[in-house]
Amino acid sequence: MIRTEEVINILVKSYKSSGTFQKVQQLVSKIYQQARGSMLMFVAAFLTFMAIGGFPSFLKDMKIFGRERLNGHYGVGAYVIGNTLSSIPYLLIISLIPGAIAYFLVGLQKSFEHFVYFALVLFVCMMLVESLMMIVASIVPDFLMGIITGAGIQGVMMLNGGFFRLPNDLPKPFWRYPMYYIAFHKYANQGFYKNEFEGLTFPNNQVGGSPSITGEEILRNTWQVEMGYSKWIDLAILLGMVVLYRLMFLGIVKIVEKVKPVVKAL
């Protein structure tokens, strides 16, 4: 008579040698890889989207700036530089504390360099959203409409950032070219992915394949990340977008100052 333990062992061996087991292992491995990427995306999206909450206070700042500008206390350039420098410490704290909680709670790469890069990308994304809301406030100086406009712009960028739909699946020409390359989420996502997956090796459960798969292969084949440049280039592009957005705000304010008296005269 066969014992229960032997029956269980036979069933386990039979299951492990079946095609169903291979499919389950592949699915588990894929879910694990996607979960790491999803958590990175969630943290960045949540913090940057919540940065819209600073819009009401910025509208008040703009009103104060308008009166002081009329009195000749300082120019637009001084205001942009002062606003940028004053916001850096607070945005840095907001990026570090929630970023550290999420980073180590999920169990991402433990090295100091990887965490610093993670926090830097969060910080630059927060500055980008703040810069975007400055532009919106200079064009739409209404509380409700400004919030709706800013949230709408961010929502469109998130949809085209290469996470909800992979880059090769985005409809052309508008959503892939140029929207995919305009959205700052593209560079944030790819920087996060490279920071987390590069240098790692994962077990490969595909039948007939190698026993392991590198993080670079996952980035290239699963997430369709552009591997022709490093994660630091992604960060540099984000920094360049911060500068561009601030310059756009400066230009819009100067144009409004010149156009408003002409409109009133009409």
Alpha-carbon span 78 to 208, nearest angstrom: 63
Residues 6+ apart with CB under 8 A from 188: 44, 121, 124, 125, 161, 234, 238
Query: Highest-confidence range of 57-66, 140-149, 191-200, by mean pLDDT?
Result: 191-200
Res. 24: pLDDT tops 90: no
Which is more confident, 138 or 48? 138
Answer whether residue 126 is part of any domain: yes
Answer whether residue 186 is part of any domain: yes
- pLDDT one-digit tens code per residue, 219-256: 898 889 999 999 999 999 999 999 999 999 999 988 88
Handedness of CA 31, 32, 33, 35 (dihedral sign): positive
Residues 102-127, mean pLDDT to the nearest whole number: 87
Instruction: At 17, list the tokens.
Output: 């040698």
- Say how many domains are in the chain: 1
Answer whether residue 160 is part of any domain: yes
For residue 178, cis peptide bond before it (omega within 30 degrees of 0): yes
Query: Highest-confidence range of 34-38, 126-130, 260-264, by mean pLDDT?
Result: 126-130
Answer whether residue 38 is part of any domain: yes
pLDDT at residue 229 in the model: 92
Query: Highest-confidence range of 16-30, 95-109, 110-124, by mean pLDDT?
Result: 110-124
Q: How does residue 42 score in pLDDT terms, banded at 50, 70 and 90?
A: low
Answer whether residue 188 is part of any domain: yes
Alpha-carbon span 169 to 165, nearest angstrom: 6
Task: Write out the residue range of the structural domain in which residue 103 sits.
Answer: 29-265
- pTM beyond cutoff 0.75: yes
- pLDDT one-digit tens code per residue, 159-209: 888 888 889 889 888 888 889 999 998 999 899 889 988 888 877 766 566
pLDDT at residue 139 in the model: 86
Answer whether residue 21 is part of any domain: no
On whether the CB atoms of residues 201 and 248 are closer than 8 A, the answer is no
Q: How does residue 37 score in pLDDT terms, banded at 50, 70 and 90?
A: low
What is the Cβ-side half-sphere exposure of residue 154, based on CA atoms within 13 angstroms?
Answer: 25
Q: Where would I find the H helices in the chain?
A: 4-16, 19-50, 55-70, 76-106, 112-139, 143-159, 180-182, 184-197, 215-217, 231-265
Answer whether residue 12 is part of any domain: no
First to last CA, the chain: 102
Answer whether residue 19 is part of any domain: no
**Which amino acid is it at 246?**
R
Alpha-carbon span 24 to 32, nearest angstrom: 12
Supply the DSSP symbol for 229: S
